[in-house]
Chains A and B, each alone.
Chain A
Amino acid sequence: MADGPRLTYASCLILQALAIGQIYGYLVMDVTGLPSGTVYPALRRLEREQLIQSRWERQSIADAALRPARKYFNLTRAGKSALEASLKRYPLLAQLVPSEEVQDI
């Protein structure tokens, strides 16, 4: 029996995107190319399985940037382990998502 939660390919792609750093939902969509109906439920599922964690940014930062507050996601330690395992399972995954830091939109 495999250790840890079983991940779909889309979930692995999202974890790979989150490995870039703290990013928010729309940026995950932009980086992975997955639709919103896939990304947002997957983010919820991954957070429930404690592979990622979320936090809302401070309203003052959002107000200063003249935009709504963002909900950022980042990998947990378990998420990093799961990502390493998934990269062994899907070796091409590393090539699908850019590893360089994503420019702020």
Chain B
Amino acid sequence: MTNKWLQSLAIHLASLLAPCEERAEWLEWWCSELWYVSSRQATRFCLGAFRDAFWLRQNGSNLVKQTGRRLRSPFACVAAFGSLSGASILITNRLERMLPFRVTDGMSAAGGIADMVFFYLVLAVTAFIIKDSPGNRRPMPRPGTARSWVFLCLKIGLVLPILQCTIVAVVVVNVPPLSLVFYAACVLLFRWIFTDQRRRCPVCLRLLTDPIRIGTPSQTFLQWYGAESMCARGHGLLHSPEISASYFPEHKWLDLDDSWRALRSAGAEFQ
């Protein structure tokens, strides 16, 4: 890449990957550095710009982190889901006007979707149930358990309009493998619901944070290999095995009882 114009074009193209709020500074820095690069090294140098911009987008965007932080709360998650469902209902109504018939009248939506829900619930139910750790002094409190089931049912209920919207959109766009698209949407959405449920504290339903890896996959004799996440409010720790073994087959919740109070003050987050 000997042409300075091409080099500059490459840098500007790479700048499109950088987050908007940091693009100007990023571009200024890279254009300044490009001035020193010889023509022999220019190609390799410019390719590095793409990697740097992509790294900045992945690690530098405050918007992504802020969005993730907001969805930690169960209310925010339900609100976001509710908004998506509302938008899906509106889109479904709009799309059905473009068709000579109502898709939702033509199919037994309730029956079909209920079958799917039940089917995937049965399939996935063992994947998200969290057992009490043997070290717990007390079982998981009943209101926390009930709240968890209510939250799960709310998410499933709110996802149905999204699935309905998917069906109608597929009919409008006239994609041939309708059932495949529907099944794929079902699998993805329900998988996300159950995975999200598993990643939440069973007491306060906030997303667990600070995951760390414990152990190594090659050393599982008398040790376990998995991940540990914690509730930011100090309610407990979730241990998730990477490799299921007879001594650690499923996810376990370790309740941090009052004896841990010294590590957390009232109203402060457990860090």
CA distance A26 to B49 in the complex (A): 12
Which residues of B have CB within 8 Å of A37? Answer: 47-52
Do most interface residues of chain B lie in helix, strand or loop, or is the interface mixed?
helix
Of listed A25, A35, A41, A44, residue having the most chain B CB within 10 A: A41
Which residue in A36, A40, A68 is a CB contact (below 8 Å) of B35?
Answer: A68
* Docked-complex contact B32 and A70, CB < 8 angstroms: yes
Interface check B247, CB cutoff 8 A: no
Which residues of A have CB within 8 Å of B29? Answer: 25, 71
The size of the chain B interface, using a CB distance under 8 A, is 20
Which residues of A have CB within 8 Å of B52? Answer: 36-37, 40-41, 44
* Docked-complex contact B44 and A26, CB < 8 angstroms: no
Contact indicator per residue, chain A 1-45, by CB within 8 Å of chain B (1) or not (0) = 000000000000000000000001110010000011111110011
Which residues of A have CB within 8 Å of B50? Answer: 37
CA distance A67 to B31 in the complex (A): 11
* Docked-complex contact B48 and A25, CB < 8 angstroms: no
Residue on A nearest B51 in the bound complex, by CB: A37
* Docked-complex contact A35 and B48, CB < 8 angstroms: yes
Interface check A96, CB cutoff 8 A: no
Known contacts A25-B29, A68-B31, A71-B29, A40 near B36 by CB under 8 Å: no
Which residues of B have CB within 8 Å of A38? Answer: 48
CA distance A76 to B52 in the complex (A): 23
Residue on A nearest B50 in the bound complex, by CB: A37
Which residue in B36, B47, B51, B60 is a CB contact (below 8 Å) of A26?
Answer: B36
Interface check B33, CB cutoff 8 A: yes
Contact indicator per residue, chain B 33-66, by CB within 8 Å of chain A (1) or not (0) = 1011100000011011111100110011000000
Q: Within the complex, what minimum Cβ distance (angstroms) separates A84 from chain B?
A: 27
Contact indicator per residue, chain A 63-90, by CB within 8 Å of chain B (1) or not (0) = 0000111110000000000000000000
Residue on B nearest A62 in the bound complex, by CB: B32
CA distance A36 to B30 in the complex (A): 10
* Docked-complex contact A35 and B55, CB < 8 angstroms: no
Q: In B17-35, which residues have CB < 8 Å from any A CB?
A: 29-33, 35
Residue on B nearest A29 in the bound complex, by CB: B45
CA distance A60 to B29 in the complex (A): 17
CA distance A38 to B49 in the complex (A): 10
Which residues of A have CB within 8 Å of B30? Answer: 40
* Docked-complex contact A71 and B55, CB < 8 angstroms: no
CA distance A25 to B32 in the complex (A): 10
* Docked-complex contact A71 and B32, CB < 8 angstroms: yes
Known contacts A26-B37, A41-B55, A44-B55, A36 near B32 by CB under 8 Å: no
Known: A41-B55, A44-B55, A68-B31. 18 other contacts (CB 8 A): A26-B33, A29-B45, A35-B44, A35-B45, A36-B44, A36-B48, A37-B49, A37-B50, A37-B51, A38-B48, A40-B49, A40-B52, A41-B51, A41-B56, A44-B52, A44-B59, A67-B35, A68-B32
**Which B residues form the contact surface with A (CB < 8 A)?**
29-33, 35-37, 44-45, 47-52, 55-56, 59-60
> What are 27 pairs between A and B in contact, CB < 8 Å?
A24-B33, A25-B29, A26-B33, A26-B36, A35-B48, A36-B33, A36-B49, A36-B51, A37-B47, A37-B49, A37-B50, A39-B48, A40-B49, A41-B51, A41-B52, A41-B55, A44-B52, A44-B55, A44-B59, A44-B60, A45-B59, A68-B32, A68-B35, A70-B32, A71-B29, A71-B32, A105-B36
